[in-house]
């Protein structure tokens, strides 16, 4: 009997069905010599300081270096109490896995084929003190053929030792940095808990720096002159190359140009540009485009893609590659044939050259753990609107990748009036190529800039303008001349798409050119984890979504202000770690050396954070209104009496408004806050009210007389 451990019940059912293991049991499926069970994500995690017998948030205990790390069943928060307890559903599933393993001779690992999937199994394996042999099922798709092929090519567990070492090192590094930094800063901040992390803090720093640059930007007015022309029945415009800050000077130039009435062609540059077809989506590219075009968050895209994968409609989504291996190329025509049975895709497929597909996506050397995202041979049904939108993006991208390049004629014309130069830019499609698939001939959204100032899009577009034939020396009549008032623009606030780009290309923002060269294409986080990092910052109330932008909260800016000059916020350091983890995976670096370096780093940041002088005198000393003995502890979320017998408490966030220190002082000292505006009721309506402290020490609203 063989045990198979999948990552989720849905994947376990697909595998069990193929193996004819159809007898349902409690927590597993059995039959044909197999027991197929599943984890529920991370069933086992690293223990907290308390599990190691170390008192948390105690300066004398820091830094905390468990040796060895304890593995514990994933805990959940105790309801209405401090601390955590084991999750009953986790304990139950671990017991089922233990029973399944005990009955079997060997194990087949069928958790997701990647770093986290490997860690999920290995932590369970070590927690249960198992020593049975195991093999690895490594697949990128849940189709019947992919699973069958995977079972024919089962690999020994030892082949993935490097992957496990990298996953374990990442997990322990995050614990060491996250736990010690969080506790050190919280102690410095008078026990107000500020969570920090190896990846989340540099990511928060990116958002806050961009926000501050945006806020501090001083807008300047400038003026340009636009001329209108007409030739061969075509209307077009030219723009002054010079920009004037002085309006009077610009008006003088405008008058002299109006008197002249003609412009002469000074220079003509016409180039034919080949715009290569886009490659397949990796996860980050899919998240960026879906954020820009559909307004979906990175996490929504990941969850949707994961759902499509588990329904067998697409291949494995947590990929960092845009390519496929040579041996998969033979299956591509079948995928196109499948799409051709769906009316929606027929017009696009008619633009493809069968028998002469573009093979640019094939590159064995550039396929990492998984290849670029593909559809499968299973035609989708019963999709939600979001699932359909994401599936369509992946399907159309496949067709675009197989298409020929788009050929364009790009014109740059320089005109002169007196000694002032004017520019005309034109772009004309010669052959549509891949742009015929979706009919997107000019995509203005692709001009967004990422954090390093480079265009984030792979295909930067000119606006399509058909120009008449122009040659040097031609005279063009000026039909109209206008003065345009413009303002310089501040750096754009991060959207999720822009932030994903900044995380992916973190190496480019490093000023040291040698370090930048070493870290080229190394980002912070991985394609599989970047969405969860953004969600962590949101859940910790460090950032909020406002329209499409990610904005730091007061709390987020406070944390950034405290740590921006500390090592914990260093993007370069984090990018270097990602590079080290990659080397561990490839067997080029010893994980013990990496953890030793992390411990040295942890000592430094713990010392830095404990030495921070955080202004505590801003927090007023207020006596508890109930016991009248203790000074109230005022944190980001609550105001409470530290005496557990008294336990008076007031939440700071009331109907969407956080009470300021001034409002809290007024409430405690005079029993009533000033009028608080813009609070939001459950029905979404805004209202204004006073908060009043009653004789029984509870608080109520008092509404102003209308």
Half-sphere exposure of 193 (CA within 13 A, CB side): 10
User: Smallest Cα–Cα separation from 533: which of 148, 246, 178, 151?
Assistant: 178
- β-partners of residue 482 are 226
Structure tokens that stand for 519 in this block: 């870290």
Dist. CA 71–CA 178, nearest whole Å: 17
Radius of gyration of the chain (CA): 31
Phi first, then psi: what are they for 514, rounded to 5°?
-65, -45
**DSSP secondary structure, 143-194, as one string:** SHHHHHHHHHT-EEGGGGHHHHHHHHHHHHHHHHHHHHHHHHHHHHTTT---
Number of residues that this document lists for the chain: 706
Considering only CA atoms, which of 455, 317, 416 is closest in space to residue 373?
Answer: 317
Give the closest residue to 431 by CA, choosing from 444, 441, 420. Answer: 441
CA distance 359 to 345: 20
Of 316, 391, 560, 601, the active-site residue reads: 316
Q: For residues 629, 631, 635 and 637, what is the CA-based torsion angle, rounded to 10 degrees?
A: 30
Q: Cα separations (Å) of 587 from 169, 172, 223, 404, 563?
A: 13, 18, 59, 39, 34
Alpha-carbon separation of residue 271 from 263, 410, 426 (angstroms)? 23, 5, 11
Q: What share of the chain is helix, strand, coil (3-state, %, to 5)?
A: 40, 20, 40
Cα distance between residue 126 and residue 198, in whole Å: 25
Please say whether the beta carbons of 693 and 664 come within 8 A: no
Active-site annotation holds for 316: yes
Both tokens assigned to 692: 């009043």
Distance CA(70)–CA(54), nearest Å, equals 12
User: How many other CB atoms sit within 10 Å of the CB of residue 631?
Assistant: 13
Q: State the angle between helix axes of 161-188 and 591-610 in degrees (0 to 180), rounded to the nearest 10.
A: 10
The three-point CA angle 51-53-58 to 5° equals 105
Instruction: Indicate the DSSP class of residue 222.
Output: E
φ/ψ of residue 201, rounded to 5 = -70, -45
**Quick one: tokens of 391?**
């599936």
Rounded (5°) CA angle 416-421-422: 90
Sheet with strand 23-25: strands edge to edge: 23-25, 28-31, 34-38, 2-6, 106-110, 134-136, 155-156
Active site amino acids: 316
């Amino acid at each position: 009997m063989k045990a198979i451990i999948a990552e989720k019940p849905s994947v376990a059912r697909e595998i069990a069905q193929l193996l004819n293991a159809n007898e349902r049991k409690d927590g597993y499926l059995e039959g044909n010599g197999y027991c197929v069970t599943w984890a529920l994500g991370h069933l086992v995690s690293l223990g907290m300081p308390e599990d190691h017998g170390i008192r948390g948030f105690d300066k004398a205990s820091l830094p905390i270096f468990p040796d060895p790390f304890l593995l514990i069943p994933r805990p959940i928060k105790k309801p209405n109490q401090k601390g955590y307890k084991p999750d009953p559903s986790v304990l139950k599933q671990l017991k089922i896995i233990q029973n399944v393993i005990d009955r079997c001779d060997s194990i087949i690992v069928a958790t997701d084929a990647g770093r986290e999937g490997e860690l999920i199994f290995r932590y369970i394996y070590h927690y249960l003190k198992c020593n049975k042999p195991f093999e690895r099922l490594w697949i990128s798709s849940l189709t019947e053929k992919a699973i069958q092929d995977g079972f024919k090519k089962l690999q020994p567990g030892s082949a993935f030792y490097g992957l496990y070492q990298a996953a374990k090192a990442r997990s322990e590094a995050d614990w060491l940095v996250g736990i010690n930094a969080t506790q050190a800063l919280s102690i410095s901040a008078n026990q107000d808990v500020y969570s920090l992390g190896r990846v989340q803090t540099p990511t928060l720093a990116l958002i806050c720096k961009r926000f501050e640059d945006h806020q501090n930007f001083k807008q300047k007015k400038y003026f340009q002159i636009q001329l209108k022309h007409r030739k061969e029945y075509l209307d077009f415009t030219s723009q002054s190359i010079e920009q004037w800050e002085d309006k009077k000077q610009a008006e003088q130039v405008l008058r002299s140009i109006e008197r002249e009435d003609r412009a002469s062609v000074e220079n003509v540059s016409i180039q034919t540009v080949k715009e290569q077809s886009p490659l397949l989506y990796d996860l980050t590219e899919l998240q960026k485009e879906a954020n820009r075009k559909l307004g979906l968050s990175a996490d929504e895209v990941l969850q949707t893609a994961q759902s499509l994968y588990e329904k067998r409609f697409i291949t494995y989504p947590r990929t960092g590659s845009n390519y496929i291996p040579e041996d998969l190329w033979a299956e591509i025509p079948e995928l196109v044939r499948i799409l051709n049975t769906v009316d929606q895709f027929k017009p696009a497929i008619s633009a493809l050259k069968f028998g002469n597909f573009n093979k640019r996506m094939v590159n064995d050397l550039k396929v990492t753990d998984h290849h670029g995202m593909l559809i499968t041979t299973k035609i989708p049904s019963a999709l939600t609107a979001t699932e359909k939108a994401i599936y369509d993006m992946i399907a159309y991208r496949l067709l675009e990748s197989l298409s020929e390049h788009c050929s364009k004629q790009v014109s740059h014309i320089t005109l002169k009036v007196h000694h002032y130069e004017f520019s005309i830019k034109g772009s004309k499609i010669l052959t549509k190529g891949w742009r015929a698939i979706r009919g997107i001939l000019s995509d203005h959204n692709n001009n967004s800039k990422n954090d390093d100032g480079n265009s984030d899009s792979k295909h930067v577009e000119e606006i399509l303008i058909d120009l008449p034939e122009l040659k040097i020396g031609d005279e063009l009549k000026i039909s109209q001349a206008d003065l345009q008032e413009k303002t310089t623009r501040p750096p754009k606030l991060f959207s999720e798409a822009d932030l994903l780009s900044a995380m992916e290309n973190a190496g480019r923002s490093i000023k040291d050119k040698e370090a930048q060269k070493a870290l080229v294409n190394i980002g912070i986080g991985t394609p599989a984890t970047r969405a969860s990092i953004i969600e962590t910052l949101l859940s910790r109330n460090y950032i909020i979504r406002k329209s499409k932008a990610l904005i730091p909260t007061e709390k987020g800016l406070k944390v950034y202000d405290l740590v921006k000059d500390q090592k914990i916020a260093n993007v370069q350091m984090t990018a270097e770690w990602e590079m080290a983890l990659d080397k561990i995976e490839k067997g080029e670096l010893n994980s013990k050396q990496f953890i030793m370096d992390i411990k040295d780093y942890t000592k430094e940041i713990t010392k830095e954070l404990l030495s921070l002088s955080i202004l505590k005198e801003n927090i007023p000393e207020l006596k508890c209104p109930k016991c009248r003995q203790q000074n109230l502890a005022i944190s980001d979320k609550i105001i409470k009496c530290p005496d557990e017998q008294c336990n008076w408490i007031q939440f700071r966030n009331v109907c969407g408004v956080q009470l300021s220190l001034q409002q809290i002082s007024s409430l405690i000292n005079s029993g009533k806050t000033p009028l608080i505006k813009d609070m939001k009721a459950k029905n979404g309506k805004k209202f204004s009210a006073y908060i009043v402290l009653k004789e029984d020490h509870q608080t109520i609203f008092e509404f102003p007389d209308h």
